[in-house]
C-alpha cells in the first residue's frame, strides 16, 4: 500500500494531476476512453495505405501498416504525454493518409517509399517552426473569439463523424446527406448506445462515455451485430518492409513534384493539428486567461516529432487526434491520460483480434463521438454573437468544418473573414500582423492546395 501511495504521489507531482482538478483513476479512465474512440485508426489506416486495399500492389504491405500505425501512435502519444503533458493522443491522420494514398501514390504515381520521405521532411519543417516558436506565435495571434469557434466547429465535425459512422446520417445524391435507415440493426445499436450514453452523462457519471461504449459492445455481441473475437493474441510483424524507407529514399524527395506534396502535407497538418490542439485544450479548460496555450512549443514539437517518427516507421503523417476530446470529456486533464492511451495502443498491437471487436464496429464508438460533439459545442455560448465582426468569421468557421469535412478548411475560411470584417468595422489596429500573413497564406491554400 505504501508503494502504491508513493507511486501516486510521484505521478501527481510529475503530471500535476491534483492541481488540474483530476485524479489518477480519472486520468486512466480518460486515456482508455480516448483509445476506444480513436482505435478505429488501426483498422482504417491499413485499408487506406495497404496493398490489399485500393492501392493494390502500389500500397504498403498491410501487416506492416497496421504495426507501423500502432507503433507511431504509441511513440507520438508518449511524447505528447510525457513531454508536453497534455491529454492529447496522436496517430496517423485520416485526411492526410487519403492524400498520401490517392493523390500522391495513385494520382502522381510517386512510390510509397518516396511519399514517406516527403512526410519525414514535412515533420522536420514542423519541428523547426515549433522549436523557433514561430508556430506558437501564429497560434497566439489567433483571437479568443476564433479559438472558441474552432472548438465548437470541431465539436460539430466530431458529431458529424459519429452520426456518419452510426448510419444515422448517410450519403444522398439528391441532397448530399439524408437520414439513414432506422430499420438497420447497426443503426439501431448506435441509437441505443447514444441513448444510454446520454443518460449516463446526464446522471453526471464520470466515465459515462466508456460505460456507453462497453454496454453498446456487449449488446452488439449478444444480438449478433458485433462479432466475437476470433482469438486473443497476434504477434506484430511487418516493419522490416517499411522501417527506414523514408530515410533511404530521401534523395528522391528533392524534386519539384515532391515540393508540392511536402508543402501540402505541411500546410494541412499545420492547421489540422493547431485547430485540434486549441479545441481540445479549450474543452479541457487548459487555455490561459488570454486564450493562449501554455507549453504550446512543447505540444507543437511533440506533434512534429510524432510525424517524423511515424514516417521513419512506415506510415503517413502522425498528428493530434480530435477524438482526444472523448477522454477530456471524461475528466482527462494531464499527460497521464495520453500515456494511458499509448499503453492501450501498445496492448492493441499484440491483441488485434480482441481490439477489432470495437475498432471494426463504428456503431459502437459513434455514440461517444456524438456526445463529445455536444459537449464541445458549448463554447458557442461564449462567442459574442451580437457583434458581427466576431459572429461572421466564427459562424463560417463552425459550419465549414463539418460541411467540408475538414478542420483545416473551416479554420482557414474563418481566418480569411476575420481581418476583413475587422477592417470594415474600423478595428484594424486590433488585427495582429500575423493575421495578415495568414490571410495571404490561406488565399494561397484555397487557390493552389485545397481539394
pLDDT attached to residue 360:
63
pLDDT band at 384 (very low <50, low <70, confident <90, very high): very high
- 28/330: higher pLDDT: 28
pLDDT attached to residue 206:
64
pLDDT attached to residue 328:
92
Residue by residue, DSSP assigns 397-451 as: HHHHHHHTT-HHHHHHHHHHHHHHHHHHTT-GGGS-HHHHHHHHHHHHIIIII--
The 10s digit of each residue's pLDDT in 190-230 is: 999 999 999 998 997 767 887 888 899 899 999 999 888 77
Q: How many whole angstroms separate alpha carbon 96 and alpha carbon 394? A: 25
The 10s digit of each residue's pLDDT in 149-194 is: 888 888 898 889 889 889 999 999 999 999 999 999 999 999 999 9
The grid cell for 429 is: 489596429
The grid cell for 225 is: 451485430
Confidence check: pLDDT of 451 > 70? no
pLDDT attached to residue 313:
94
Confidence check: pLDDT of 355 > 80? no
Give the helix, strand, coil percentages of the chain, each rounded to 5.
75, 5, 25
Q: Which residues of 218-248 are buried (b: 16+ CB within 10 A; e: fewer)?
A: ebbbeeebbeeeeeeebebebbebbbebbee
Mean pLDDT for the stretch of residues 399-415: 85
The 10s digit of each residue's pLDDT in 113-134 is: 999 999 999 999 989 988 887 8
Nearest to 231 by CA among 357, 125, 342, 339: 357
CA dist 148 → 21, 77, 107, 140, 436 (Å): 22, 25, 37, 13, 20
Mean pLDDT for the stretch of residues 426-437: 87
- Give residue for cell 506492416: 64
Mean pLDDT for the stretch of residues 291-313: 87
Confidence check: pLDDT of 323 > 80? yes
* pTM of the shown model: 0.77
- 52/144: higher pLDDT: 144
Contact 104, 261 (CB under 8 A): yes
pLDDT attached to residue 82:
95
Confidence check: pLDDT of 97 > 90? no
pLDDT attached to residue 408:
75
The 10s digit of each residue's pLDDT in 37-86 is: 888 888 888 888 988 766 888 999 988 898 999 999 999 999 999 999 99
Q: How many whole angstroms separate alpha carbon 248 and alpha carbon 15? A: 38
- 12/290: higher pLDDT: 12
Q: How many whole angstroms separate alpha carbon 107 and alpha carbon 98? A: 11
Residue 72 CA from chain centroid, whole number: 14
pLDDT attached to residue 279:
85
- Taking the CB of residue 424, how many other CB atoms lie within 10 A of it? 12
Nearest to 305 by CA among 297, 32, 174, 360: 297
pLDDT attached to residue 261:
86
Amino acid at each position: 500500500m505504501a508503494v502504491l501511495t508513493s507511486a501516486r504521489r510521484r505521478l501527481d507531482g510529475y503530471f500535476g494531476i491534483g492541481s488540474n482538478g483530476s485524479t489518477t483513476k480519472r486520468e486512466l479512465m480518460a486515456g482508455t476512453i480516448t483509445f476506444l474512440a480513436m482505435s478505429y485508426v488501426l483498422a482504417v489506416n491499413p485499408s487506406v495505405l495497404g496493398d490489399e486495399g485500393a492501392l493494390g500492389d502500389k500500397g504498403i504491405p498491410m501487416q506492416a501498416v497496421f504495426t507501423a500505425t500502432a507503433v507511431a501512435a504509441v511513440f507520438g502519444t508518449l511524447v505528447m504525454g510525457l513531454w508536453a503533458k497534455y491529454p492529447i493522443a496522436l496517430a496517423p491522420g485520416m485526411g492526410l493518409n487519403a492524400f498520401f494514398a490517392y493523390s500522391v501514390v495513385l494520382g502522381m504515381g510517386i512510390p510509397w517509399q518516396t511519399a514517406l520521405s516527403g512526410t519525414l521532411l514535412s515533420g522536420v519543417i514542423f519541428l523547426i517552426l515549433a522549436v523557433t516558436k514561430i508556430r506558437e506565435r501564429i497560434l497566439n495571434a489567433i483571437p479568443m473569439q476564433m479559438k472558441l469557434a474552432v472548438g465548437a466547429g470541431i465539436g460539430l465535425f466530431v458529431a458529424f463523424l459519429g452520426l456518419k459512422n452510426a448510419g444515422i446520417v448517410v450519403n444522398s445524391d439528391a441532397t448530399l446527406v439524408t437520414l439513414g435507415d432506422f430499420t438497420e440493426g447497426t443503426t439501431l445499436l448506435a441509437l441505443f448506445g447514444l441513448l444510454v450514453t446520454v443518460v449516463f452523462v446526464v446522471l453526471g457519471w464520470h466515465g459515462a462515455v466508456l460505460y456507453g461504449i462497453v454496454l453498446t459492445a456487449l449488446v452488439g455481441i449478444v444480438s449478433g451485430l458485433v462479432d466475437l473475437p476470433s482469438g486473443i493474441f497476434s504477434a506484430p510483424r511487418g516493419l522490416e518492409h517499411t522501417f527506414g524507407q523514408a530515410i533511404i529514399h530521401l534523395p528522391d524527395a528533392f524534386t519539384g513534384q515532391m515540393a508540392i506534396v511536402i508543402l501540402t502535407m505541411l500546410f494541412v497538418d499545420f492547421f489540422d493539428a493547431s485547430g485540434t490542439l486549441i479545441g481540445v485544450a479549450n474543452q479541457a479548460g487548459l487555455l490561459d486567461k488570454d486564450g493562449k496555450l501554455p507549453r504550446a512549443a512543447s505540444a507543437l514539437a511533440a506533434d512534429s516529432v510524432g510525424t517524423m517518427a511515424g514516417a521513419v516507421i512506415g506510415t503517413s503523417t502522425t498528428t493530434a487526434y480530435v477524438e482526444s476530446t472523448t477522454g477530456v470529456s471524461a475528466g482527462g486533464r494531464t499527460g497521464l491520460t495520453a500515456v494511458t492511451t499509448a499503453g492501450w495502443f501498445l496492448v492493441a498491437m499484440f491483441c488485434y483480434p480482441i481490439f477489432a471487436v470495437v475498432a471494426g464496429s463504428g456503431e459502437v464508438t459513434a455514440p461517444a463521438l456524438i456526445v463529445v460533439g455536444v459537449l464541445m459545442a458549448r463554447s458557442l455560448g461564449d462567442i459574442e454573437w451580437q457583434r458581427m465582426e466576431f459572429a461572421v468569421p466564427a459562424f463560417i468557421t463552425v459550419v465549414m468544418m463539418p460541411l467540408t469535412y475538414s478542420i483545416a478548411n473551416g479554420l482557414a475560411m474563418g481566418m480569411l473573414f476575420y481581418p476583413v470584417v475587422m477592417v470594415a468595422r474600423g478595428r484594424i489596429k486590433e488585427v495582429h500582423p500575423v493575421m495578415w500573413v495568414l490571410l495571404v497564406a490561406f488565399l494561397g491554400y484555397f487557390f493552389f492546395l485545397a481539394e
